[in-house]
Structure 1
Amino acid sequence: MSGNLSSPCPGNSSEAWQAPSFTRAAQFRVGATMLLFSFAAVSNLAVLFSVAQGGGRRLSPRFRPLILSLTLADLMMTFVVMPLDAVWNVTVQWYAGDVLCKLLCFLKLFAMHASAFILVAISLDRHAAILYPLSSLDSQRRNKRMLLVAWSASLLLASPQLFIFRTIKAGNADFTQCVTHGSFQQRWQETLYNMFHFVTLYVMPLLVMIFCYVRIMLEINRQMKKNKAGDSCLRRSGTDQIPKARLKTLKMTIIIVASFVICWTPYYLLGIWYWFHPQMLRETPEYVNHILFLFGHLNTCSDPVIYGLYTPSFRADLASCWRRCTPDSPRTPNQSENSQEGTGLEREQ
């Protein structure tokens, strides 16, 4: 977590050190990263536009800040982590100096923490909406507090990167790298640091999300049994519009969380393997390491896709933007109706 596993670390081994090169497997990684970057940049900026200018006005007031924060975290991953990964693999060594070494490694961990913690906030919001529907009156204030904690905790937990990363020159070779070498007296200390971030970035968020959604599923199952018995506890004002909206929003958030787990699990498993067995970089094919790292980038691309699939107004916003950019484009009779369609996100109170 403290750095890129593919990044060479001169001076950490007693073996004769050889400068790495821009291999064919690394070239594949860079090409795939830039494709993912292009898609993630366009799709997340489109979601940002929709939430801030278009359909965002029709989002539930309690849910809009959560989606906006998740999109901003994804944009940080897109414009910081992906270009850093691609350029670093191309140059192999570090040319940007000590200040940018510290700053970019800090921003990378900050973006990763923010993305994970905001998903936790979304899960806690869904937990409150389903189990404690009467608490919706105070939900906006609660969500703002959760987001403040998420961003603040991300900032705090990523701040050590500013102190442990530095530029190191490899012996007599003309090779400089941005690494943590020299910041830890013993290897176990660096492993402990990495394991701490593994827990805060993956284990704790995953446990909280599992807890929330297990309780949600149990509550939904209980309500379904009551409804079968003629007791419609989730209904309000004689209609089932609100529970359907909540369930649709719940489905979207479950898929977003599942995407987080699927995309980041290979990354963290590879990291754990490397922390306890650094020789794995020489024992496994290079392309396998690169492919597993790319899985993490897929999460940044999947969030806007999932949001778009569950939000018809998002597609209406994009169509509206296209019409403004191309004024000669015809307007179909159904466009104004589609722009007012309700979804789980837009009609939830």
Structure 2
Amino acid sequence: MSGNWSILRLSTQAPPTTTEATPPPNTSQLPPLTDWEVPTFTRAAQFRVGATFILFLFAACSNLALLVSVWCGRGRRLASHLRPLMLSLASADLMMTFLVMPLDAVWNVTVQWYGGDALCKVLCFLKVFAMHAATFILVVISLDRQHAILHPLDALSAHRRNRRMLLLAWSLSLLLASPQLFIFRAVQVEGANFTQCATHGSFSRRWQETVFNMFNFTTLYILPLLVMSCCYSRILLHIHLQHLRNKAGESYLRRSGTDIIPKARMKTLKMTVVIVLSFVVCWTPYYLLGIWYWFHPDMLRVTPEYVHHALFVFGNLNTCCDPVIYGFYTPSFRADLAACCRHTRTDTSTRSPERLSARPHSEGSDPNTNQQPAVD
């Protein structure tokens, strides 16, 4: 999701202009409009807020569980080069969860912008930074999986290589999000008592804005998709060739190897296919709608409002899919979830007043002092 793809939403709220106005340093003053109506919190926007709230709860719980599992749970047993990838993935998805989703929900409720110019710039910057980071971490994981399958004997340098790639991913995210600090500003409609956080006045020509939007679209969707598709295609090709060699008797593996390698390859195959499909399925419709708008702004009058909102919510579903795809393919994460559920049920039952009062004295309580044993 591009940072300036927010303009699609802003365009439905900030009115179009027929004359160019020179913006002052902090606030752009738009000329008065006679046929413009102040936007309202519509039924479609209410659906968007409700759906975003549900996704927020699920994404927050699942990504926090994944982060805790990898940081201090059984996930610590993962290979040293995999732990930073999982931690970065969970951190990037949590940034998406706690920055993008609440900002979008509150913004839809208030309709206009009440945060001032500085907060407009900072929040738009953080929003695009989180989206770039979440996408680039997927690319780093794809590159790591490709190297692990194609060069299994080079595992000793994987930790150092992944740390460098992660540093590059976070640095590029900061760099590519920095233009939002300069192009977004608080735009006030003169005579209408309406303020919006938009990019009006930052581009002197329409084509300049389109080029910038396409650049963000390329860095956030096209290039990551190409890199991930290339990595996973090479993985599948390698697995296929290995399968043909083994079938033809060109290589002989130990019996233990024949029991483990096919299962590991099948798990990698399933996971990589789901990774690519989830990214493509969740974000492609929203990006296609954005491209349509950038080249034909009148599409806002053609497509129903609920379509824009539904596609944005569907795109955010990718943040919820990541911990499911990566976490539930990791046995340690499933074990941590099962242990947490058992601990919760046990803790609830032992703290129940009925069970405490019905517990016999022989279980450890002192009949003279009526003190119960400590509950873990």
Contact 1:93 1:177 in 2 (8 A): yes
CA distance in 2, matches of 1:221, 1:238: 17
* Structure 1 match to 2:293: 274
**Which of 208, 213, 218 is matched with 1:194 structurally?**
213
**Which of 53, 57, 63 is matched with 1:34 structurally?**
53
Q: Which whole-Å deviations, capped at 9, do the CAs of 1:304-336 have from their partners, x for residues lacking one?
A: 122343123212212333445555479xxxxxx
Contact 1:323 1:329 in 2 (8 A): no
Corresponding letter in the other structure for 1:6: R
* Structure 1 match to 2:14: 10
- Secondary structure at the aligned position of 2:196 is classed as strand
* Structure 2 match to 1:69: 88
Aligned-pair CA distance for 1:11: 5.0
Contact 1:126 1:250 in 2 (8 A): no
- Secondary structure at the aligned position of 1:119 is classed as helix
CA 238–76 in structure 1, closer or farther in 2 if over 3 Å, else same = closer
* Structure 2 match to 1:47: 66
Q: Which whole-Å deviations, capped at 9, do the CAs of 1:35-79 have from their partners, x for residues lacking one?
A: 111111111111111111112112122222112111111111110
Moved more, 112-121 or 312-321: 312-321
Residues 1:207 and 2:226 aligned together: yes
Question: TM-score, with normalisation over the residues of structure 2?
Answer: 0.83
Residues 1:298 and 2:317 aligned together: yes
**Which of 116, 122, 136 is matched with 2:155 structurally?**
136
CA distance in 2, matches of 1:72, 1:93: 30
Contact 1:129 1:136 in 2 (8 A): yes
Contact 2:89 2:137 in 1 (8 A): yes
* Structure 2 match to 1:335: none
Contact 1:129 1:246 in 2 (8 A): no
CA distance in 2, matches of 1:227, 1:162: 56
**Which of 187, 197, 204 is matched with 1:168 structurally?**
187
* Structure 2 match to 1:158: 177
Contiguous gaps of at least 5 residues in structure 1: 331-349
CA 61–241 in structure 1, closer or farther in 2 if over 3 Å, else same = farther
Aligned-pair CA distance for 1:257: 2.6
CA distance in 2, matches of 1:198, 1:247: 33
- Secondary structure at the aligned position of 1:167 is classed as strand
Aligned residues: 331
Q: Which whole-Å deviations, capped at 9, do the CAs of 1:230-286 have from their partners, x for residues lacking one?
A: 234777985653563354245323312321111011111111011111111111111
CA distance in 2, matches of 1:237, 1:271: 51
CA 117–46 in structure 1, closer or farther in 2 if over 3 Å, else same = same
Aligned-pair CA distance for 1:206: 0.7
CA distance in 1, matches of 2:262, 2:79: 14
Corresponding letter in the other structure for 2:236: M
Corresponding letter in the other structure for 2:219: T
Percent of paired sites with the same residue: 69
Contact 2:239 2:265 in 1 (8 A): no
Contact 1:62 1:143 in 2 (8 A): yes
Corresponding letter in the other structure for 1:315: R
Corresponding letter in the other structure for 1:24: R
CA distance in 2, matches of 1:233, 1:216: 21
CA distance in 1, matches of 2:252, 2:157: 21
* Structure 2 match to 1:216: 235
**Which of 338, 361, 364 is matched with 1:319 structurally?**
338
CA 157–44 in structure 1, closer or farther in 2 if over 3 Å, else same = same
Following superposition of structure 1 onto structure 2, how do residues 228-239 of structure 1 map, counting pairs within 5 Å? 228-232=247-251
Contact 1:7 1:92 in 2 (8 A): no
Aligned-pair CA distance for 1:12: 2.9
Q: Which whole-Å deviations, capped at 9, do the CAs of 1:126-155 have from their partners, x for residues lacking one?
A: 111111111111111111111111110011
CA distance in 1, matches of 2:250, 2:110: 65
CA 329–7 in structure 1, closer or farther in 2 if over 3 Å, else same = same
- Secondary structure at the aligned position of 1:7 is classed as helix
Question: TM-score, with normalisation over the residues of structure 1?
Answer: 0.89
Moved more, 3-12 or 92-101: 3-12
* Structure 2 match to 1:148: 167
Contiguous gaps of at least 5 residues in structure 2: 19-32, 350-376
